[in-house]
Structure formats: structure tokens, C-alpha cells
A and B are shown apart, each in its own frame.
Chain A
Amino acid sequence: MWRRAFPSTPLSAAYPSALLLALVVGTSPLALFGACRSPALPPNTMVVPHSAPGDPFAQARQLPLDKLVTGSTEGWEPSDGPGGDWWRFEATLTSSYLFTISGRAEHRPSIELHAITGNKRRTLGQTLDRLTLPLQAGVYYVNVDDNRVDRGPYALHVTRFEYGDSAIRYEDVNLLEPMCERASSLRSAVFGTFQSLPGGARTTCGGTGGNVVHVLELAAPARVTLRGAAQFEFSLDVRESCLRDKQTLVCAKSRERELAVSTELAAGRYFVVLDAEEVGSLDTGLPGAAVRGAYSLAAQVEPLASGAAP
């Protein structure tokens, strides 16, 4: 695996054609690119090792959120196969992200995105300019490449994008209100089915948005311990107001698909939102972040001694 060295390119420069951006996710995706081969070296080009032998991702440049970066694919040939620039992007929150790649005006840049789960590589999507994808928190690798002879500089940008028809987006009050109205009680353990839903109930510490809201009513101040388990990583929100016009009291994330969180609450009515922290396989046909699974949730309520109200 080799990469051509090139100077940084000012944004005002003309951009190359048919740029290819590929996004892969995973912890050690090298082995998954067995199909990649060392490219034939173009004549009169200076090359440097793409990375330490065996890991093209070790020297990937950081792709920061909300900051334009530039690079160039000049010097690559179509026979090079999938090569190009590697960028490392860390999504700190489960969210929809908008990737934008641009090149020279007379050519159409293209973007291809892949995901790696375990030892399998999946194509997440492909576009010529903009691609919006739901991503769970984690590290991703972005590959910018070019399928045409005419190569050159490019500009790359990523930002959170939770509007419009994004798979993960802000809570939609029109969806949330009916959920709040029919929220079932947590007086006893509940066993339900979560399904991701764009604009659905979403925890404040991340999450895809979904269909799960429960209500917890306390007649007196109490220490409340919420215990949950699910078939996916998840988070829990405890809210005073279902529509979140008051500050969220607690938000906690699961580990190994289990969670126990404890907090002291005054007497009153609270809403508990359960939300997925992972993004499913996007071509399953499931809505939004493509997560569907069973969950269980129980609340243990221990009254506080009088005068110890939180």
C-alpha cells in the first residue's frame, strides 16, 4: 500500500475529477481489504509508504468535524485499484453526518462509503457530492480516491446533520406527543420492542431516536434505580417533561447491552426514554437507523427518609 506525497492544496485551487471517497469503519480494517493490491507506481512520481507495513490506517490523517480539509489524488491510475487518501474520523455522538467531497467544476466527484462489522465490509452508500449517513459513536476511516485519469486536489468536509429526512434527527413533537400520551407505566417491569424512528424519542446523550417512552410516577421522594437490558446498545433518559422543555435529569449509556442507573428524584411524574446507541444494517429496510430489538426495563423505587428530598 503506497500513497503519493503531495503538498497541501489551497481551497482556491481547481479540483480534480471524479473523486472517490470511501468511508470504512472498524477497529482494524486492514485485513478486510485483501482485494487491495499495491498499485503500480506511476513514472516520475515520488512515493512514500502509505503507512507502516501492514496498516494503511495508522497514518491516516485526522478528519475533524466541521472543518474543511484538502488533499489530492494526483498521480493515481485507474489500475491502482482502491487506494487514495485515508482519513480518520471519530464520531463522538450517534448522529447523522453529512460528508461533502468536491473537486474541479468540470468533473463530477464521487463518494463511496463502506462499513466494516466484524470481519465483513459493507458499502454504506455512494454519491457524487454529498452523503448523509447515520453513524454510531466510533472511529471511521474515510478513503478519498479517483477513478479517472484526470486527478488532482479535492476538499472534504464532515458535519453533523440532523435535519430534513436524515435517519437520525431532532425530536419531532408531532411524533413525540402521541408517544408521551400513551406511555406505559414503569410500576412493574416492562418488556417491549424498540424500533428506530427518525424524529422519535431521543436521549440527550446520543441515540438514534425511537418509539419507546415510559412514565414513572413517584408519590414521595425516592431513590430510583433503573435497570435495563436490550438486544442492542442503548441509553436511558429521565425527563421531567416528555417534550423536553425542561432539562433532562439523567442520561446514561449501556455497556454490553445492559444498564443500571440510580438517582434521587422528588415526588412527581417523570418520563423515561429508551433509545438505541448503535446503527443497524442500513439495507435491512428498517426505518431510520435500522435498529429493531427487544428490551426489558424495570424501576426499583426506594423512598427517601423524610426531609431528604433531592
Chain B
Amino acid sequence: MRTSVLCALALGVGCTGPVPARLAPYFPPSVVYEGPYFVARGKPVATLELSDYAYELTLEASPSAADLHAVLVTGKFAFAFGDEGTILVRAGGDSPWRAVVSPTERRLWAVTKRAEKPFVVGERGAWLKYEAEDRWTLEDSGTEHTLYAVISAREQTFAVGEHGTLVQRDEHGGFTQVPTRTEATLRDLLYVEEHTGQNAGESLRHLVLVGDAGTLIDCALRVDPPACIPRVSPSPEDLLQIVDVSAAPVALHAPHARQSSTLILGAQGFTAGVSWGRLPPFDFVPTPLTLSAGPSGLPGTRLYVSRVRKLFAPQGAVQPPLLLIGEQGSGTLLMGEQHVPFAIAGLGDLHDVAGNDLTTYIVGAGGTILHGAIRGAQSEMIHEVIYGAK
């Protein structure tokens, strides 16, 4: 039922109202949405017009004025985390954001989830585990160094931070510090799993760590503890983020960019990338990326993005392929050959972005929470179409 209705939508058949024709290219027939549906609470503060649809950003009321640094959307909730241990949560539908009691006052920098259970890391080795309802517990990560990023890899969860710290948490809650052969501050990490053989269980599992002064490290997970070896860096600049953009290479314009599957965001611009089909450990080639000429006919613009703080590339989601956020409420939305910058007056820096198939959340300074969605995707009609509800 869902699929057939969705197919009808995708084909632009039998649908009425303002949404179907515009959304048609962005709802592949195979999409069956499973996550929660977050209704935007407020009025749009920015509408980003693309050729096929519009993307709306809505400022939602925040119960906290603390700077927010991390956001996560799970199968049931959206969470935001920030200074002084701030934890905010909202459920689907039109539920409001609310603050919950935090077990720490340390600044929280990053979040991931494993089996829908969030893990949050932060200042002085802070490591929070979600228990249930509004209960969070503080775990002993075994380090006093600040942790800036965290990611789950099957049963394990890894976090990186100051002084080359790489912490590994096993499924039973045991923590191990993994040697990384660097003292540089590590800012982000990416989990890569490539199946190479005939057996489903045979794969190459690696972590790629990035950090200050061009630090780039590959860790093989087939040995315990993981074996971490430095790699040739694509840039001497501070490397802030590494992200899988395999779902959105078309948005990037550079030599080999269309074969790129991983992108590193540096403090002075983008550096990329690896090719499809390559096995880890990856080789990263310094590739200054530019935005291709858009429908306006303007020549390609170098994507100099010193103001960009985070890049979001949804995997298989009904979202724009790439969303960049940065300082002073600014950002850029990239969709194919199109790129639409935005700057929302009165907002501070934007710090993190995450989402599910329908909704993107952006958080930032002063408790900023922005809800992002394709216009019309917030309507009950889309909800009905996807769920076959009502």
C-alpha cells in the first residue's frame, strides 16, 4: 500500500496539491520511511528555492540558551547537546523541545548512536550513555582529555579528542585507549566497512581519523587493539570533519569528484577524496572542490568554505544531497548543479546538523535549533502518502 501510493507520487500520477510534482524526483519508489515525523514548530525563517522544490528552515523554540554543539535524530526522538551538560529532547509529531536532567556539567561536543541508543562525548573525557526515557548515565571513559567526535562501528564505539586520544568502548561498556601515533588533536573520525569477499562476514573494517595540522590516520579494526598508522595528508591545514558523501558526488565539481566517496573538510576549504570501489586504507588526494555552474549560468565558484563548520550528507534520505552550515546562521544547500546559500539574521554560529529521511535539525550558539525540511514534507499529506495513514 505504502509503496504503491509512493510510486504514484514518484510518477506524479494521481496526486494533487502543491507537493507531488515538485517532490517527484526526490521520492524513489523504493523509499519506505521508518523514522519519526517532526512537524516544524514555528514559522519558516528561510526558504531556499531550488528548481524542483523549496527547502524551508524553521527556528524552533529552545528551552535552553546554552550553546548547542551536537544533534541526533533517532527512531523516536531528536536530541541536542551542548554547554554545561545540556541535553534537550523532542519527540515526533508537534512535540516541543524540553530539557532533561544531565549527569554532567561538562561541555558536550558530539553524539552518535548504536542500536538507536545515543552515546555523547565531551569535555574532559565525558561519556554519556542513554538508558531509557530521560535517564542518562555518565561512564568512565578512562581519559581526561576532551573528546570531540564519536562514532559507532558494529559492537564498538570510538571517540577521538585531544592529544591524539582514541577511545574504544566495547559492547559491555569496557573502555580501552588505542595508540594513534600522534599527539595532535583529533577532530573527527569515519568508520569504513568494505565487503570484499564472498562471505558476508569478510570485510575490511577501518577507522579514518582527522585532526589538526593535517593529521590523517588509518586504523585497521581487524586486530585488537586497532592498528593505527599515519597516512599522507591531503592538506597541512587543520582537518575538521571527514564525511561519507558517496550519496552526493554529483553536487561536487572537481577532477574525480564524481568518483569521490569521502570528503575531508579542512579549516581553509575542502580537500578530497577517494574513488568508488577503492579499498581501505584510502589514499586522499588534495582536490580543491568548486561549485559547478548553476542554472543561473554563473561560472563555477571555488568552494572556499572557511566559514563552514559542518557538512551534512544524508545517506539515502529524502533530503538535499549536501547541506553546509557555518558562522552567523549561514550555510549552503547543494542539490545537483544547484547551490543556494543562506544567512539567517540574528543567529549565532551553527555547529552541527543531523536528520532522518524527512527532517534535518541544525543546532548552534545560544540554544539555536533549526528545523529543516522540504516544503510540503511537513504537510500531513506527505505523512499520509508515506505511511498510508489516516
Chain A nearest CB from B191 CB (Å) reads: 16
Stretch from B113-121, B163-171, B222-230, B360-368 that touches the partner: B222-230
Task: Flag whether A193 is at the interface (Cβ < 8 A).
Answer: yes
Task: Flag whether B220 is at the interface (Cβ < 8 A).
Answer: yes
B220→A281 contact, CB < 8 A: no
B202→A284 contact, CB < 8 A: yes
Interface residues of B (CB under 8 A from A): 181, 196-199, 202-204, 218, 220, 222-223, 227, 229-232, 279, 281, 283
Chain A residue numbers with a CB within 8 Å of B231 are: 191, 294
For chain A, residues 151 to 208, give those with C-beta under 8 angstroms from any C-beta of chain B: 191, 193
Partner of A191, one of B199, B220, B223, B229: B229
In the bound assembly, the distance between CA atoms of A220 and B231 in angstroms comes to 30
Binary contact track A273-290/B, C-beta < 8 Å → 1, others 0: 000000001011110000
B198→A296 contact, CB < 8 A: no
In the bound assembly, the distance between CA atoms of A193 and B232 in angstroms comes to 10
Known interface pairs A283-B199, A284-B197, A285-B202; 9 further A-B residue pairs with C-beta atoms within 8 A, sorted by A's residue number: A193-B283, A229-B181, A230-B229, A231-B222, A283-B202, A286-B196, A293-B220, A294-B231, A294-B281
Chain A residue numbers with a CB within 8 Å of B223 are: 231, 257
Nearest A residue to B224, CB-CB: A118
Chain A residue numbers with a CB within 8 Å of B220 are: 231-232, 293-294
For chain A, residues 244 to 287, give those with C-beta under 8 angstroms from any C-beta of chain B: 257, 281, 283-286
A294→B218 contact, CB < 8 A: yes
In the bound assembly, the distance between CA atoms of A193 and B204 in angstroms comes to 14
Chain B residue numbers with a CB within 8 Å of A230 are: 227, 229
List the 8 shortest-distance A-B pairs measured between CB atoms, nearest first. A231-B220, A294-B229, A231-B227, A294-B281, A285-B196, A283-B197, A284-B197, A285-B197
Binary contact track A223-249/B, C-beta < 8 Å → 1, others 0: 000000111100000000000000000
Chain B residue numbers with a CB within 8 Å of A232 are: 220, 227
Contacts A193-B281, A229-B181, A284-B204: A296 and B196 contacting too (C-beta < 8 A)? Answer: no
Task: Flag whether A107 is at the interface (Cβ < 8 A).
Answer: no
Chain B nearest CB from A117 CB (Å) reads: 9
A281→B202 contact, CB < 8 A: yes
Chain B residue numbers with a CB within 8 Å of A97 are: none
Interface residues of A (CB under 8 A from B): 191, 193, 229-232, 257, 281, 283-286, 292-296
B196→A191 contact, CB < 8 A: no
In the bound assembly, the distance between CA atoms of A230 and B204 in angstroms comes to 15
Chain B residue numbers with a CB within 8 Å of A231 are: 218, 220, 222-223, 227, 229, 281
Chain B nearest CB from A20 CB (Å) reads: 22
22 A–B pairs (Cβ distance < 8 Å), ordered by A: A191-B230, A191-B232, A193-B283, A229-B229, A230-B227, A231-B220, A231-B223, A231-B281, A281-B202, A283-B197, A284-B197, A284-B203, A285-B198, A285-B202, A286-B196, A286-B279, A293-B229, A294-B218, A294-B220, A294-B229, A296-B229, A296-B230
In the bound assembly, the distance between CA atoms of A77 and B173 in angstroms comes to 47
Chain A residue numbers with a CB within 8 Å of B204 are: 284, 292
Chain A nearest CB from B220 CB (Å) reads: 4
Chain A residue numbers with a CB within 8 Å of B232 are: 191
Contacts A193-B281, A292-B279, A294-B281: A284 and B227 contacting too (C-beta < 8 A)? Answer: no
Nearest B residue to A117, CB-CB: B222
In the bound assembly, the distance between CA atoms of A130 and B112 in angstroms comes to 50
Chain A residue numbers with a CB within 8 Å of B203 are: 284
A293→B227 contact, CB < 8 A: yes
Nearest B residue to A190, CB-CB: B232
Nearest B residue to A192, CB-CB: B232
In the bound assembly, the distance between CA atoms of A231 and B181 in angstroms comes to 13
**A230, A281, A295, A296 interface centre (most CB from chain B within 10 Å):** A281
In the bound assembly, the distance between CA atoms of A281 and B222 in angstroms comes to 10
In the bound assembly, the distance between CA atoms of A297 and B199 in angstroms comes to 33
In the bound assembly, the distance between CA atoms of A296 and B229 in angstroms comes to 7
Chain A nearest CB from B242 CB (Å) reads: 16
Chain B nearest CB from A107 CB (Å) reads: 30
In the bound assembly, the distance between CA atoms of A285 and B200 in angstroms comes to 12
Chain B residue numbers with a CB within 8 Å of A191 are: 229-232
**B199, B220, B227 interface centre (most CB from chain A within 10 Å):** B227
Chain A residue numbers with a CB within 8 Å of B199 are: 283
B197→A281 contact, CB < 8 A: yes
Chain B residue numbers with a CB within 8 Å of A257 are: 223, 227
Chain A residue numbers with a CB within 8 Å of B181 are: 229, 296
Chain A nearest CB from B153 CB (Å) reads: 16
In the bound assembly, the distance between CA atoms of A282 and B232 in angstroms comes to 28
In the bound assembly, the distance between CA atoms of A294 and B218 in angstroms comes to 7
In the bound assembly, the distance between CA atoms of A230 and B181 in angstroms comes to 12
In the bound assembly, the distance between CA atoms of A229 and B219 in angstroms comes to 12
In the bound assembly, the distance between CA atoms of A230 and B223 in angstroms comes to 11
In the bound assembly, the distance between CA atoms of A232 and B227 in angstroms comes to 8
In the bound assembly, the distance between CA atoms of A232 and B204 in angstroms comes to 13
Chain A residue numbers with a CB within 8 Å of B227 are: 230-232, 257, 293
Chain A nearest CB from B170 CB (Å) reads: 15
Chain A residue numbers with a CB within 8 Å of B198 are: 283, 285
Nearest A residue to B217, CB-CB: A294
Chain B residue numbers with a CB within 8 Å of A286 are: 196, 279
Chain A residue numbers with a CB within 8 Å of B196 are: 284-286
Chain B nearest CB from A190 CB (Å) reads: 8
Chain A residue numbers with a CB within 8 Å of B218 are: 231, 294
In the bound assembly, the distance between CA atoms of A285 and B281 in angstroms comes to 16
Nearest B residue to A118, CB-CB: B224
Nearest B residue to A228, CB-CB: B229
Chain B nearest CB from A126 CB (Å) reads: 14
In the bound assembly, the distance between CA atoms of A112 and B197 in angstroms comes to 20
In the bound assembly, the distance between CA atoms of A294 and B281 in angstroms comes to 6
Nearest A residue to B229, CB-CB: A294
In the bound assembly, the distance between CA atoms of A295 and B279 in angstroms comes to 15
Contacts A284-B202, A284-B204: A293 and B281 contacting too (C-beta < 8 A)? Answer: yes
In the bound assembly, the distance between CA atoms of A229 and B196 in angstroms comes to 24
In the bound assembly, the distance between CA atoms of A281 and B202 in angstroms comes to 8
Chain A residue numbers with a CB within 8 Å of B197 are: 281, 283-285
Chain A nearest CB from B65 CB (Å) reads: 45
Chain A nearest CB from B222 CB (Å) reads: 8
Chain B residue numbers with a CB within 8 Å of A285 are: 196-198, 202
